[in-house]
Copies of this chain bind each other. A is one copy, B any other.
Amino acid sequence: MRSERADGLSAFFEPASVAIFGSLKADKFAMGNALGAIKNMLKFGFKGKIYPISQSGGEAMGFKAYTSVDEVSEPIDLAMLLIPPQAVHEVLNQCAVKGIRSVIIGTENFAEAGEDGAKLQKQVVEIVRRSGIRALGPNTLGVLNPSFGLITTPYLLDFYSVLKGGIGYGSQSGLVSFGGHPLKDKGYPISKLCDFGNKCDVNEVDLLEYFSDDPETKVISMHLEDIKDGPTFMEVARKVVSRKPVLVYKPGRSQAGAKAAASHTGSLAGNDRIYESAFRQAGVIRVNSMREFWEVPKVFSSQPLPKGNRFAIVSATGGGGVICIDAAVEAGLAPATFTATTLQKLARLSPRLARNPVDMGPVLAVIADPFPAIEEMVLAVMSDINVDCATLVLPGISNTVDIFNHLKPHLVDIAKPITVFLYGTELSGMEETLRQLEAMGIPAYLDPEIAVKSLGVSVTYSKIKMRAEKS
């Protein structure tokens, strides 16, 4: 009955109405509790309709609660199931009858929990296939769409908004999605986020296709423990990378890791060397740590692609320049040779500045108002026709935000990608500066190596895109 199948994921991310199935009794944020999910949705500002569905009926957070979904007369776009595993089949059937085409199965204890769970999951897959429902999960916290105020996790969060931006994140683990990361405090510019869970139906290929067409998503970053259908993933990815970069953080490189991944989401992780080569052929860029998974894509959310790999550094400290230029060479960047014009502009401030990296430290120490000088040096370097991209090394303090308030319009005109490495002696101030820069569309980092590598990945992607466009 493939024809009845709603293939897109739009209803998962942009539903006008959501039915949330689960207990309304305990006011406890936990899997199985619909109240937590409803609270999160309200705090995130979900504008659509919410229908609590619970055997207890009654009322929840000002919403009438229904004992069964067939009591709801209006159409429902998305269902979130936070119910015991044994009840999932019946509720899926009810959803099918009601005409709900998109269902998130939050419920745990399916394939990840051993043989009995795997049998239950198999039955879920049968219903899903028969009914044409698209199902995300089971064993998932669901989705986040800041533009819609949509968030489906039932767990307590310490944040009720995130920065809207261009990164579409997909993850196979709650840890690498809602459950384990301070998404707001880190200032990641997020378009959408999806926790796959056990991928009984909706998987990384569906998400790739959805993100590829999603105008809000400029870069796709995926954490994958396994890939359900390697050849299809590579085929789809190959098409997507002509439009948007695809980054993959795939642990389970080792045999041991693969075995652990198999236990965690009930699937087989496969041979890593095969993946490595397939990723390369498809133009998928692999990142190597959880931090890189979150932070490398930031450069694509706000910055243009570089025209080449000639890299400049403008640093408020000499040590920062040395660290960054070394990281740059490792990331495939080449130190830019400034034009005579740029060298003259820099030498006017101090002869010692006239080289790459530009070590501003000694100059900043002796001039009365260093901030206009920093802006002058940054613009001299960024305007240089021999420079394709740059990392700026600046203190993580409010003055740096002011500098970018002045620089931003010029940098937009110059249209070359930059990243900023922030240093400092007070962590909360550095983090606040980072968030403010991210909110301005300036990718900021607290690790010099990742600030630079992000530009290296940007250069790598430029080449992938060109290759994809030619073929």
Contact = CB atoms under 8 A, between A and B. Distances in A.
Contacts of A260: 321-322, 325-326, 335, 357
A351 B109 CA distance: 13
Contacts of A3: none
Contacts of A257: 322, 325-326, 329
A112 B318 contact: yes
A157 B251 CA distance: 39
Contacts of A428: 185, 428
A374 interface: no
Interface stretch (A170-178, A273-281, A459-467): A170-178
Interface stretch (A6-14, A341-349, A419-427): A419-427
Interface in A228-257: 251-257
A265 interface: yes
Interface residues of A, number: 77
27 contacts: A30-B365, A112-B362, A158-B426, A159-B425, A172-B319, A174-B317, A174-B319, A175-B318, A179-B317, A181-B424, A182-B425, A185-B426, A251-B322, A251-B326, A252-B326, A253-B330, A254-B326, A254-B330, A256-B326, A260-B326, A261-B322, A263-B318, A263-B355, A264-B318, A264-B322, A265-B318, A288-B449
Interface of A: 30-31, 108-109, 112-114, 157-159, 171-176, 178-183, 185-186, 223, 225, 251-257, 260-261, 263-265, 288-291, 317-323, 325-330, 334-335, 351-352, 355, 357, 359, 362, 365, 393, 423-431, 447-449
